[in-house]
A and B are shown apart, each in its own frame.
Chain A
Amino acid sequence: MLVVDDDLALAEMLGIVLRGEGFEPSFVHDGDKALEAFRETRPDLVLLDLMLPGIDGIDVCRQIRAESGVPIVMLTAKSDTVDVVLGLESGADDYIVKPFKPKELVARVRARLRRTDDPTPELLQIGDISIDVAGHSVKRGDRHIPLTPLEFDLLVALARKPRQVFTREVLLEQVWGYRHAADTRLVNVHVQRLRAKIEKDPEHPEIVVTVRGVGYKAGPA
């Protein structure tokens, strides 16, 4: 796990907590070195502070996302709409607002690292998209579509029950692991990112369809 944070004390504290939970964190304190460190360590998850010296967290997030689908969890002091949405749009999977409890942090991290070890091979089909759940791959025809694990989980959650409408709250629980209702912007932003990858025309989605006033569903309207 890679922790990108400029605050040494916080980084050390995060290290204590994460090690206590059995993770092996490595640290980088500078936005400029974050990408380099990422390439070296190949972490399973990145904890990223949004406010960093050098390149700021949003740019780091974009750089990492550009070459990897690794789960990224942002640490942010601002819960204001703009910052959070900007962070999510730059590729972060989830965010935690400071100050947070250690348990909350660990829960978020575990939720992102959780791999549904499904031994039975499962093949799903929505529209012209085929999903190999065990093989963790999504194809349109023969063409492979690269998705981040989170986007994949979101798509699988929808595709397992085609035509069923999922509210944003239910998706938050199933995909992100929130037990209490949290920020539904997470869902909106990631549905848009997912659509940008799998839809032929993201403006007129056919795979992930919005049900006005309720939520989303997979498959034709």
Chain B
Amino acid sequence: MKAWITPTSAARRGLRVVRRSVRAALRKAYVSWRRSLQARVVTTTLVVSALVVAVLGVFLMQQITTALLEAKERAALLQLDEGVGVAQRQLAVGGSDNSETTKSRLNAIVTTLAHRSGPSGLYEVIILDRDDPGSVGFSSNWIRLKSVPAVLMRQVEQSDASKPYRTYGTLTYDDGSSKPGLIVGTKLSRYQLYYLFPLTQERQSLEVVQQTILGVGAALVLLLAAIASIVTRQVVVPVRMAAQAAERLAAGRLEERMKVRGEDDLARLATSFNDMAANLQEKIVQLQELSQVQRQFVSDVSHELRTPLTTVRMAAEVLYESREDFDPMAARSAELLQSQLERFEGLLADLLEISRYDAGAATLDIEPMDVRELVLRAVGYTEDLAERKGSKIIQQLPGEATMAEVDRRRVERILRNLLVNAIEHGEGKDIIVSVGADRDAVAIAVRDHGCGLRPGETNMVFDRFWRADPARARTTGGTGLGLSISMEDAQLHGGWLQAWGEPGRGSQFRLSLPRVAGAELRGSPLPLVPPEIELQRAPYAELELEADA
């Protein structure tokens, strides 16, 4: 569509490169303008002062021009006045009406008048006889009558006697050159007398003045910009230093401080900044110490509890092993002791894990893992329990490896908890474990067909020590912390753990994890509500409530 671009593709490419680099340069300039307070202040100062100087300059030029020309005009009118007197006297002397003689007489008068100004030839004089158009007197041979504008001539013609008129025009000479000039003229009975003042001098003066104003103006603008730059620099440099210090502080270098110089506002900024930094540091150190104390406490409690527990555990084991030698009551007691110790141990382990989360001491040990493998392990771990409860675990795994960066211990624990939970509430029916994956995330869903969850319970299942039915007999002896820990584990991965359930239709727990550790999870590759339920679902039965992770 643009014919002028057509030449060759190389040229076009060159043009594109140039355009791109120009655009890049502009963008860079714009960015630095936006980012730098100094650049902005200097730019603003430049623009505003340039405007002010321009206005001032124009005004000044006008004033000077006006003054100069007014003086010239006054002098010109005086000159004319004088000339009129001289001409009248000379014209009164003459008599003959011969046009030839008239012309020479007029020329003589004009020459006299011109000479009155001295030899410098500051002006030209023209006189013409109204009655005789041919009779024109010229002070010099090379000025043309054309130099007197027709408008002025008409004004003079129509005016009353001896009223002077003036105008600006162009003086034209025989050699074709021309220069600006001031023309004054008046009527002198039947003659018209014109004085033509070339304004070359004035023009030169004005040019000099103009150049001076331009130069001074430009210098002034630059000077102002430089001053603005220096002044803002004085402000900006400490501010920049404060910003840098704040950045370093934010990056965790808590000992970072600003230098305080003088007692001005900037020094106050530095002082308050330093106070803030000191307070911040103190608070953070306090928190760190607190967390350290908490962690230490958890660790100590752990050790202190575990050592006697180990002894008790071993003792119980020894008693349990030899229970056949006891009387029935003691034997049963040994069994109870044994099983309840196991439960106690699990509870202690879970409590310690939870308190580790609460202390913020839980960390991820990330490695790339095939999620299917973790599922297989978790299923292997829970198969015995499922068999005892009469449930079958059905696995729906994708054919190819499903890799994700996870902490295998934690994810395995989540899966174990979900499976144990499903077996416990699955009422002996099938349990389906499915794995799904997309580009960014993996998901594992554990579906049971047991008693399901009532509306609102989908959130509560993750609460600590929450029980679906307090009256129900506890069978497998979960600690009541499993799902809470799983939720913490999922959140530590930046993942979601959500539950769905409907009374009588079972429930489904879905774990979604980002494939890359630390990435944000936007969606899950598996649906939370099992598809067969979604299909049957009537529009009024909106019972799903998601647990927001």
Contact = CB atoms under 8 A, between A and B. Distances in A.
A10 B309 CA distance: 9
B141 interface: no
Interface in B283-327: 299, 302-303, 306-311, 313-315, 317-318
Interface stretch (A97-105, A122-130, A133-141, A146-154): A97-105
Contacts of B317: 17, 101-103
Given A78-B302, A78-B303, A101 B313 contact: yes
Q: Is the interface on chain A under 10, 10 to 19, 20 to 34, or 35 or more residues?
A: 20 to 34
A117 to B, nearest CB: 29
Nearest to A103: B317
- Consensus secondary structure, chain B interface: helix
B38 to A, nearest CB: 50
A100 B341 CA distance: 12
Given A77-B307, A98-B309, A99-B309, A14 B299 contact: no
A13 interface: yes
Contact of A17 (B307, B309, B318, B377): B318
Contacts of B303: 51, 77-78, 98
A119 interface: no
Contacts of A100: 310, 313
B318 A99 contact: no
A10 B365 contact: no
B353 to A, nearest CB: 10
Interface in A32-64: 51
A120 interface: no
Given A16-B318, A101-B317, A102-B317, A77 B306 contact: yes
A17 B306 contact: no
A7 B307 contact: yes
Interface in A63-105: 75, 77-78, 80-81, 98-103, 105
Nearest to A7: B307
B430 to A, nearest CB: 27
Interface of B: 299, 302-303, 306-311, 313-315, 317-318, 345, 365, 377
25 contacts: A7-B307, A7-B308, A7-B311, A9-B311, A10-B308, A10-B311, A13-B311, A13-B314, A13-B315, A14-B314, A17-B314, A51-B303, A78-B299, A78-B302, A78-B303, A98-B303, A98-B306, A98-B307, A99-B306, A99-B310, A100-B310, A102-B314, A102-B318, A105-B314, A181-B377
Interface of A: 7, 9-10, 13-14, 16-17, 20, 51, 75, 77-78, 80-81, 98-103, 105, 181
